[in-house]
Amino acid sequence: MGYASSGAGRAAHEALLARQDAELRLMETMKRSLQAKMKSDREYALALSAAAAQGQKMDKCEDLNGSLIASAWRTMTEEWENTSRLIRANAEALESRALDRLITLMTERRKTRKVYQEDHTKISSQFTQLTEEVQRKQSEYQKCLESYKQMRAKFEENYLKCKCPTSRGGRKLDETRDKYSKACRRLHRAHNEYVLLLAEATECERALRTAALPSLLDQQKRQGEATAASWKAILLEVVRRSDFSTDKFREIQGRVECTIQNLKPQDEYKEFMEKYKSPPSTPITFTFDESLVEDTSGKLQPNQLTVDNLTVEWLKEKLTELESTLQDNREKQTALHGPEIIGNGVCKNNNTSVTNGVNGVDRHSPPPIPVTASEPTKLLELRVAERKCARQAELIRAALAELGCEEAPSGCPDLSAETVGGDSLDGSSPDHQVSVSEAERSLVEQEWFHGVLPREEVVRLLRADGDYLVRETTRNHARQLVLSVCWGQHKHFIVRTTPEGHYRFEGAAFPSVAELIAWQRASGVPVTARSGALLRRAVPRETWELNNDNVQLLDKIGRGNFGDVYKARLKTTGQEVAVKTCRVALPEEQKRTFLQEGRILKQYQHPNIVRLIGIAVQKQPIMIVMELVPGGSLLTFLRTRAGALGPRPLLAMCRDAAAGMRYLESKNCIHRDLAARNCLVADDHTVKISDFGMSREEEEYIVSGGMKQIPIKWTAPEALNFGKYTSLCDVWSYGVLMWEIFSKGDTPYAGMSNSRAREKIDTGYRMPAPEGCSEEVYALMLRCWEYEAEKRPHFHQIYTIIDNIYNR
């Protein structure tokens, strides 16, 4: 058909939209015509039946006994009635087997057209965004260059003045030097970002032009052929239901059916494409504006990364970030091809993001589920993103490889190597150096140092005026220490570092943060004059705040949404634990979401709830430390080992889960993601509820965002339709969990997409009982799946029912 090679032009795109509109109009015409035909057939059948009834009303029929004419007439009128019934049956079949399918085909075609137009618009906008981003970055580069030139001129001017014996401009030279150094850094970073963006834009444009757009057009080809095939089947059904088996109808029927049988879906668009054939779009070329580096003394080169003391650390951090992104990208691509553990027991299966628990790695995944219609587009987006990141990483690796083990060269002119008045121009003074490791060590030992504790937790801890603590944050890839104080409201002060390596706020500077805080509290001087905040009571770390250095990571056992999951050991006790880590590069909002599970779990103690040991936030990466449950994921256990278990042990697992959920319900905790993948199995087959990443401590929780992370097949209808969550939503999920347990780990609603399962549930469909499941247990499942939440049992009732069944 030549979509990908011949249909990439604008004219072909507009013609294709027009063609799809015309097809929809034709379908609408066919629908109205079929409705009219069915109406006329029913009316004709009714009239024929009335005629037959009229013909059978023969007066004084006893006088015609033995009459062959009367007998023949009676037979004829009876056959009229039979014919009427056949015509009426054909009309009903035409409605259910042709008209309904045609209406469904129209709906699907409208959706297909909408998706195609949105995807095409998205690809077109990406071309535009690439060009605009390159222009914006070039403009930023130009501004940094102008600033660099100005500061270099001022620095050279002041430097020459200081060379004069009578000059007293040393302090002004220091200020000019600092500004010049900052301008150097900004220029070099702008240069590197511009080079990386050009590389990214080139790869992205090529990927969109050579992969994304052809893939979209090929998908339209397949969908068009599938529509034509379905359309053909509908027309054949109409033909068959219109055949009244007379010679005249057979002659007409034959010609029509022959015409339809000769219809070939693969030739449906042949003439159309020949008529609207157009060349593909011209590639966009991204080139480095060499005028930007004309006045940088050869320090910066077009299309080359600059590796010096101003950029080497940034490049290394950027490379680490890119490698992490590439790893995540590849795992997501693998997940789209079939279920695979990606950490914290996270297993991606079909369109639903699910979890296998903290401790278990699913080594026996079920057979891959067929790829849904939306996944090829997702996979293509991931591959485009991978090419962009891979190209940038390649450039950075090559630049760093050229540097080798040598010290990074200076990013400023040679003037900075000289000294003025015995001090180096970089502002350092050998007589005032402070041991960083010594200062760091004294800081970690302070009970008021809380590491990378999120601001949300800080606000919770600081309650009275004068309460304070010190924490760590990251800003623009740089580590900063922050003093948080409650004074009327919560205030946060960045700890400044002097050129000599000391620490201060507005007053005196000290060699360590511990000495600074001690003086600030003892002196009674406000942290800043404007705030008036005084330090009165240090807020110590809570018992569940662990020291990162006391957690020894052993083996990686999975990968979660926020980072890797490890088997680990606590150095203080020797206890083996499970540790979830959070990637350093994540934004603060996601780090707060990561710690939410720890905040919820820290207050729960129950044998059927996975136990929190602590949270380590003193340094990166932050960690959630939990008990290690050796049996791993319940889903993995069911699929690999539950075949040897009878109904009673399976019922015990259901009872364990009900006990854990009964406890959570009593605490007003809504789990929101209860499933076999999020339960763990101990060595004695005890089941523990795990993964509280989506949980909320409320009696009722309303979701206002999207449904991207919602496990559709486990979620109650009121939560899907209205975003309303209560503990009774967990009851619905518990019913699905029971089904998973008794089906030995089968996938719920197998063979159905998320949207199809949701539609079926709304119409009253419920999954059949698993093989070997008793009627009592299945009846409880059905009670959990009551459409109206108020009709479902609460967990204390569920536990009682299961316990009674188990004891019998």
Whether 351 and 471 share a structural domain: no
> What mean pLDDT value characterizes the chain?
79
Residue 691 a catalytic site member: no
Whether 268 and 343 share a structural domain: no
pLDDT of residue 371: 40
Q: pTM score, two decimals?
A: 0.44
The answer to whether 486 touches 654, Cβ cutoff 8 Å, is no
pLDDT of residue 58: 67
What is the CATH classification number for the domain harbouring 245? 1.20.1270.60
Q: Is the pLDDT of residue 580 over 70?
A: yes
Of 120-129, 439-448, 620-629, the poorest mean pLDDT is in 439-448
627-671 confidence digits (pLDDT tens): 999 888 899 999 988 778 889 999 999 999 999 999 999 988 888
Band the pLDDT of 791: cuts 50, 70, 90.
very high
Q: What is the mean pLDDT of residues 55-78?
A: 68
Q: Which of 383, 403, 423 is the last residue of a domain?
A: 403
Q: What is the mean pLDDT of residues 732-738?
A: 96
Q: What is the mean pLDDT of residues 410-429?
A: 34
Token reading at 341: 């553990």
Q: Is the pLDDT of residue 333 over 70?
A: yes
Whether 720 and 771 share a structural domain: yes
Q: Is the pLDDT of residue 542 over 50?
A: yes
pLDDT of residue 184: 92
Q: 637: annotated binding-site residue?
A: no
pLDDT of residue 699: 52
Band the pLDDT of 172: cuts 50, 70, 90.
confident
CA torsion 789-793-799-802 (nearest 10°) is -110
Band the pLDDT of 415: cuts 50, 70, 90.
very low
Token reading at 228: 């034509």
Of 103-112, 594-603, 674-683, 778-787, the poorest mean pLDDT is in 594-603
Whether 67 and 185 share a structural domain: yes
Whether 227 and 313 share a structural domain: no
Q: What is the mean pLDDT of residues 231-247?
A: 79
Q: What is the mean pLDDT of residues 186-190?
A: 91
3-state secondary structure of 480: strand
Q: Is the pLDDT of residue 548 over 90?
A: no
What are the phi and psi torsion angles at 545 (to 5°)?
-85, 105
CA gap 753, 713 in Å, rounded: 9
pLDDT of residue 364: 37
Decide if 574 is inside a domain: no
List the catalytic residue out of 328, 467, 673, 691.
673
Q: What is the mean pLDDT of residues 449-471?
A: 87
Decide if 533 is inside a domain: yes
Decide if 390 is inside a domain: yes
Whether 333 and 267 share a structural domain: no
Q: 610: annotated binding-site residue?
A: no
Band the pLDDT of 706: cuts 50, 70, 90.
very low
Band the pLDDT of 224: cuts 50, 70, 90.
confident
pLDDT of residue 11: 80
Secondary-structure breakdown of the chain: helix, strand, coil percentages, each rounded to the nearest 5? 55, 10, 30
Q: 580: annotated binding-site residue?
A: yes
Whether 101 and 241 share a structural domain: yes
Q: 560: annotated binding-site residue?
A: yes
Q: Comparing 778 with 413, which gets the higher pLDDT?
A: 778
Q: 549: annotated binding-site residue?
A: no
Whether 300 and 264 share a structural domain: no
Of 196-200, 403-407, 523-527, the poorest mean pLDDT is in 403-407
Decide if 593 is inside a domain: no
Q: Is the pLDDT of residue 589 over 80?
A: no
Token reading at 732: 């619905």
CA gap 381, 535 in Å, rounded: 52
Decide if 225 is inside a domain: yes
pLDDT of residue 638: 92
pLDDT of residue 756: 92
pLDDT of residue 490: 93
Using CA atoms, how far residue 690 sits from 385, 529, 557, 602, 712, in Å, is 33, 49, 16, 13, 19
739-763 confidence digits (pLDDT tens): 999 999 999 999 899 899 999 999 9
Q: What is the mean pLDDT of residues 316-322?
A: 87
Q: What is the mean pLDDT of residues 412-419?
A: 34
Q: Which of 490, 515, 538 is the last residue of a domain?
A: 538
pLDDT of residue 344: 36
Tally of domains within the chain: 4
**All residues at 6 or more sequence positions from 456 whose CB lies less than 8 Å from its CB, including other chains:** 592
Rg of the chain over CA atoms, in angstroms?
37
Range of the domain at 508: 448-538
Of 439-453, 711-725, 742-756, the poorest mean pLDDT is in 439-453
Using CA atoms, how far residue 468 sits from 153, 210, 464, 483, in Å, is 46, 57, 9, 7
Q: What is the mean pLDDT of residues 377-387?
A: 79
Q: 562: annotated binding-site residue?
A: yes
pLDDT of residue 298: 66
Whether 203 and 264 share a structural domain: yes
Decide if 523 is inside a domain: yes
Q: What is the mean pLDDT of residues 106-118?
A: 88
What is the CATH classification number for the domain harbouring 467? 3.30.505.10
Q: 565: annotated binding-site residue?
A: yes
Whether 141 and 255 share a structural domain: yes
CA gap 240, 259 in Å, rounded: 14
Decide if 548 is inside a domain: no
Whether 737 and 795 share a structural domain: yes
Whether 90 and 132 share a structural domain: yes
pLDDT of residue 59: 55
Band the pLDDT of 435: cuts 50, 70, 90.
very low
**Per-range mean pLDDT, top range of 106-120, 287-301, 748-762:** 748-762
Using CA atoms, how far residue 249 sits from 46, 94, 235, 239, 703, in Å, is 21, 17, 17, 11, 61
pLDDT of residue 341: 33
Decide if 429 is inside a domain: no
Q: 561: annotated binding-site residue?
A: yes
Q: Is the pLDDT of residue 326 over 60?
A: yes
Report the percentage of the chain scoring pLDDT > 90.
Answer: 27
Q: Comparing 579 with 299, which gets the higher pLDDT?
A: 579
The H or E element that residue 802 is part of is helix 795-807
Q: 802: annotated binding-site residue?
A: no
**Per-range mean pLDDT, top range of 130-134, 384-388, 686-690:** 686-690
pLDDT of residue 395: 86
Q: Which of 492, 509, 538 is the last residue of a domain?
A: 538
